[in-house]
A and B are shown apart, each in its own frame.
Chain A
Amino acid sequence: MKKEILIQPTGGRLSRRAFLKRSSFATLTGLITSDEAETAARRQGQRRQEGAIACALIGFGTWGREIAATLAEMPEIDLVAIVDTYEVMLTRVRRTFGDEVATHLDYQAVLDDPDIQSVIIATPTHTHREIAIAALEAGKHVFCEVPLAPTVEDAQAIAEAAAKVADTQIFQCGLLFRSNPQYRSIFQFIRSGATGSPVMARLQTHLKESWRRASPNPERQRAQNWRLDPALAPGLIGELGINQIDSAFWFLNELPTAVTGFGQIMQWNDGRTLPDTVQSIWAFPSNLHMIYDATLASSFDAAYDVFHGASSTIMIRDVKAWMFKEVDAPLLGWEVYARKDDFYKEQGINLAANATKLDAQELKPTDDDPSLEAPLWYAFKEFADNHIYGPFPAAAGYREGYNATVAAIKAHEATLNNTRVDIADDLFMMS
């Protein structure tokens, strides 16, 4: 039987463990006045908020830098160390953070540090398994980027390791939309039946760039271009589209039974074997089908998702959403007063996640919401809340990460071979 996709709330209960942990911490902070503690506080520039979570980031590539910048804005998280196997990246860390964070070439250093509570893994996909399992075994809470792994076996190993310690340790994966208020609002909207019965979904990611990375060091350059190796990462669908396809699984409450893929090299014929352009058609148990395409050869129309329903269609773009009603759709009521935007010959009804709040602030739904944060921020806010109130199953936990990774791996396989790949029910089951 297929595993149910769990929808978990954030916030809420305070576990006994968390209560004891916080009580102990409060007691300690009242008692410790040693020189050592004072020196540490000075080193942190008094920036650390009482009770802030001591965190290490492993991997300081492009995405790792965005993560670091987000964490550096959050008083509830104290980024104390950054790890990268490439010294040049650590030079970048020091250029950005000065001596505010420690730097290490080996992730073991942060796993051995008892003061570090959590690690965030933003390394190449094929390295996640080793690091994530070692971190969990070292007793750390883990935030691991998606896809979890390039193979089902590796993804399963990570998920099983996370499941084993789920009562005491947090495991959150980088499926960002699951923590995002706008996506949660759309989720409720679709699940409530406001769009009518689902008809189909269409998602896309379009970029114009080679996806290559350059380094003066040839050996390093090979390592940096892991995304172009079909064996080390699940291609465009896994590395670019996993958040989008996961949101479809979440909204539709279904996992795919098969995926048919096509892959071509249309622009970057530079010796790579990985397709730079892919199309995939996904089949679901309800007979609904979904199309996802991605290309590195044309940026036109960028990235967006469309969920067609018999009564209305929802388009999500740049974390904003619009509803397009069928003329024969029942009147919902509120949409009469809602803000509408023109899209060629159609009018899209703006679906603001916090329309009521904006209204209270005398702001229109399309005005800039002063409380808006970036998707990464919401994900790490949930991670931080889980430290304080949890551990509770993360909205994007090991189960969701595993299922999305498996789906991406199967789609990658389909696009490499221009074929249909059936996804057995029990593949989404974890032993």
Chain B
Amino acid sequence: MTVRLARMAMGSRWELVLEGSDETWLRAVGEEVLNEIAYLDSHLSIYNPRSAVSRLNARAASGPVQVEPRLFRLLQTAQRLHAATDGAFDITVGPLMEAWDFVHHQGQLPKPGVLREARARTGMHRVHLDEARRTVQFERPGVQIDLGGIGKGYAVDEAVAILREKEVETAFLHGGTSAIYGLGCPHDAEVWKVAIERPGAGDDPAADDMVAVVTLCDEALSVSAVWGKAFEADGRIFGHVLDPRKGEPVEGALLAAVAGPSATEADVLSTAMLVRGRDAMNMVKKPPLRSLLLLPAGTDAGYDIMEWDMPLV
């Protein structure tokens, strides 16, 4: 028996496939999982003015703000992964996104002075976490946090914890096809298989549009790509993925994928790989992680592939 459920959350369509013998029971479990994801969306989203993150952004520059334990631990995780990626992942990148006009529009070159001012409001070192008091304080007004680069992966991990708690053995979950988890193995196959398509494959990719097929069994996969919002200026294309260290759109990577036990880490690392480009593979060549990076090149395909334990098609 297979039950499929879907819900919109975090700006994406989430789908959950559950396998078992009792349809009613499976659906009830699935609803609890999707409700949890919707709750995390409302709790973490910067687009919800009543979310815990909006509350922080509005108050934390004025003084320490007490936050609930789960959010505090997520911020600690973000801080740890910021260090682990040498600053390539940064939840304070919001002012830079605004400076490049990617928040509500397709982007444009920042006006003189705007970028400098935005950089002065960016940086994880401007977010102070006090574990004893469970408070968060920003160094100065204008600092903002945005958990968009970690939220989906975190939601997947929290969802999987519920599935395990309910003793579900077989399930597949994805948020917008970028944050993915295969729990157990499907009944009719040895592993869950996820195909990664080449950049620009379109909405209806053919078999030869696939770059890799990733196998998952109790494992997460995150896929990040630079396509989406972009603009052209001075003969150069500027995409919406920003390098927080330089304060400008990244160059040098088209797509990154990371598989591993933690969806939160995979989510962060795939984004950080895009930022760090060719230099990124050293960061993720650590078992049990598996990874893939597509870099632009003058080849027929238009890209080079670097991979670590992730077989190509």
Binding between chains A and B: yes
Is A46 touching B132 in the complex (CB atoms < 8 A)? yes
The A54-96 residues at the B interface (CB cut-off 8 A) are 62, 66, 68-70, 72-75, 88, 91-92, 95-96
The B64-91 residues at the A interface (CB cut-off 8 A) are 66-70
- A209 part of interface (Cβ distance < 8 Å): yes
Alpha-carbon distance between A72 and B161 when the two chains are bound, in angstroms: 22
Which chain B residues lie closer than 8 Å to A368 at the CB level?
Answer: 49, 54, 58
Is A47 touching B132 in the complex (CB atoms < 8 A)? yes
Which chain A residues lie closer than 8 Å to B25 at the CB level?
Answer: 214, 221
- Smallest beta-carbon distance A268→chain B, Å: 9
Of the candidates B26, B31, B49, B132, which one forms a contact with A45 in the assembled complex, judged by CB atoms under 8 Å apart? B132
Is A62 touching B35 in the complex (CB atoms < 8 A)? yes
Binds B, one of A7-15, A282-290, A369-377, A397-405: A369-377
Is B50 touching A374 in the complex (CB atoms < 8 A)? yes
Which chain A residues lie closer than 8 Å to B131 at the CB level?
Answer: 45
Is A73 touching B68 in the complex (CB atoms < 8 A)? yes
- Smallest beta-carbon distance B1→chain A, Å: 14
Is B55 touching A373 in the complex (CB atoms < 8 A)? yes
Alpha-carbon distance between A371 and B25 when the two chains are bound, in angstroms: 41
- A21 part of interface (Cβ distance < 8 Å): no
The B17-31 residues at the A interface (CB cut-off 8 A) are 24-29, 31
- A317 part of interface (Cβ distance < 8 Å): no
- A270 part of interface (Cβ distance < 8 Å): yes
- A23 part of interface (Cβ distance < 8 Å): no
- Smallest beta-carbon distance A408→chain B, Å: 23
Alpha-carbon distance between A212 and B25 when the two chains are bound, in angstroms: 8
- Smallest beta-carbon distance B65→chain A, Å: 8
What band does the interface of chain A fall in when counting residues whose beta carbon is under 8 Å from B?
35 or more
Is A212 touching B28 in the complex (CB atoms < 8 A)? yes
Which chain B residues lie closer than 8 Å to A98 at the CB level?
Answer: 69
- B165 part of interface (Cβ distance < 8 Å): yes
Max chain B Cβ within 10 angstroms of own Cβ: one of A97, A270, A368, A373: A368
Which chain A residues lie closer than 8 Å to B32 at the CB level?
Answer: 62, 213-214
Is B49 touching A216 in the complex (CB atoms < 8 A)? no
Interface size on B, residues (CB 8 A): 31
Which chain B residues lie closer than 8 Å to A271 at the CB level?
Answer: 24
Is A210 touching B68 in the complex (CB atoms < 8 A)? no
- Smallest beta-carbon distance B49→chain A, Å: 4
Is A369 touching B49 in the complex (CB atoms < 8 A)? yes
Is A210 touching B27 in the complex (CB atoms < 8 A)? yes
Is A97 touching B69 in the complex (CB atoms < 8 A)? yes
- B236 part of interface (Cβ distance < 8 Å): no
Is A88 touching B165 in the complex (CB atoms < 8 A)? yes
Minimum CB distance partner of A375 in chain B: B50
A66 with B69: in contact, given A47-B134, A73-B52, A369-B49 (CB under 8 Å)? no
- Smallest beta-carbon distance B129→chain A, Å: 13
Is A371 touching B58 in the complex (CB atoms < 8 A)? yes
A216 with B166: in contact, given A72-B66, A72-B69 (CB under 8 Å)? yes
- B227 part of interface (Cβ distance < 8 Å): no
Alpha-carbon distance between A42 and B251 when the two chains are bound, in angstroms: 49
Is B66 touching A73 in the complex (CB atoms < 8 A)? yes
Which chain B residues lie closer than 8 Å to A88 at the CB level?
Answer: 165
Of the candidates B29, B70, B132, B134, which one forms a contact with A214 in the assembled complex, judged by CB atoms under 8 Å apart? B29
- B104 part of interface (Cβ distance < 8 Å): no
Alpha-carbon distance between A72 and B166 when the two chains are bound, in angstroms: 26
Contact with A along B130-144 (1 / 0, CB 8 A): 011110000000000
Is A100 touching B24 in the complex (CB atoms < 8 A)? no
Is B69 touching A96 in the complex (CB atoms < 8 A)? yes
Which chain B residues lie closer than 8 Å to A73 at the CB level?
Answer: 52, 55, 66-68
- Smallest beta-carbon distance B38→chain A, Å: 10
- A215 part of interface (Cβ distance < 8 Å): yes
Alpha-carbon distance between A369 and B32 when the two chains are bound, in angstroms: 31
A69 with B28: in contact, given A47-B134, A372-B50, A373-B55 (CB under 8 Å)? no
The B126-168 residues at the A interface (CB cut-off 8 A) are 131-134, 161, 165-167
Is B132 touching A69 in the complex (CB atoms < 8 A)? no
Alpha-carbon distance between A210 and B28 when the two chains are bound, in angstroms: 7
Minimum CB distance partner of B71 in chain A: A69
Of the candidates A74, A369, A374, which one forms a contact with B66 in the assembled complex, judged by CB atoms under 8 Å apart? A74
- B198 part of interface (Cβ distance < 8 Å): no
**Closest 8 pairs between A and B when the two form their complex, measured CB to CB:** A370-B58, A214-B28, A72-B68, A368-B49, A212-B28, A69-B68, A214-B29, A216-B167
Interface of B toward A, CB cutoff 8 Å: 24-29, 31-32, 35, 39, 43, 49-50, 52, 54-55, 58-59, 66-70, 131-134, 161, 165-167
A-B contacts, 25 listed (Cβ < 8 Å): A45-B131, A45-B134, A47-B133, A62-B35, A66-B39, A69-B52, A69-B70, A72-B68, A72-B134, A96-B69, A97-B69, A209-B35, A210-B27, A210-B28, A213-B32, A214-B28, A214-B32, A214-B166, A271-B24, A368-B49, A369-B49, A370-B58, A371-B58, A372-B58, A373-B55
Given pairs A45-B132, A214-B166, 13 additional interface contacts (CB within 8 A): A45-B134, A46-B132, A46-B133, A62-B32, A68-B68, A69-B52, A100-B69, A210-B27, A216-B167, A221-B25, A372-B49, A372-B55, A374-B50
